[in-house]
Amino acid sequence: MLSFRQKPKYLIVGLGNPGREYRLTRHNVGFMAVDYLAQTAKADIRKLKFHALTGNAVIAGVPVLLMMPQTFMNLSGEAVGEAARFYKLPPERVIVIFDDADLPLGTLRVREKGSSGGHNGIKSIIAHLGSEEFPRVKIGIGPKPHPEMELADFVLQAFTAADQKVLFDRFSRVAEGVELILKGDVRLAQSRINS
């Protein structure tokens, strides 16, 4: 078990909204993925710190802090920025896992850096880190069923049981991508994970 005295070398942040009503919604796929990482690393992610639920873990031999910001999606950067400053971690040591409505359900994309792509959680993190240069794992949640539907309404919909199964089957691939990033091999993560 990792003690809180051991400084994490990376933050692994899953994006989502706090509260039971949001638990299995499309916008919370980042939380779900970090939950999966916590379970596989046998980590407890219940300590409230930096406006986030946090848990120390060792993944791929690297001490990390797992985070689920509790600020609501649009203010995610407040939690991430605070933790990064506290541990003196540069943006490239912050891995963010989040939903992408432009990707088909279950499709994964590893990116080394980039713009927010219109994602408010990422926009907030870029603002608080002062940089776009942080690695990320995007998880496809599928397109809106109707073009006229508001994106905000779509991402707050719950996944169907069938969709949940598709996603949960992908989390081992998300974990593989995260491990490769932790080993310093973002390019390999991209070639293996980007489907």
Give the catalytic positions in this structure.
Answer: 27
Closest by alpha carbon to 78, among 101, 107, 49? 49
Please report, for residues 118, 129, 140, 160, 180, the alpha-carbon distance to residue 167 in angstroms, rounded to integers and kept in the order given. Answer: 22, 29, 9, 11, 20
Please report, for residues 99, 145, 151, 168, 185, the alpha-carbon distance to residue 127 in angstroms, rounded to integers and kept in the order given. Answer: 19, 31, 22, 31, 26
Can you say how many angstroms the Cα of residue 124 is from the centroid of all Cα atoms in its chain? 14
Give the burial class of 23: count Cβ atoms within 10 A of its Cβ; 0-12 exposed, 13-18 middle, 19 or more buried: middle
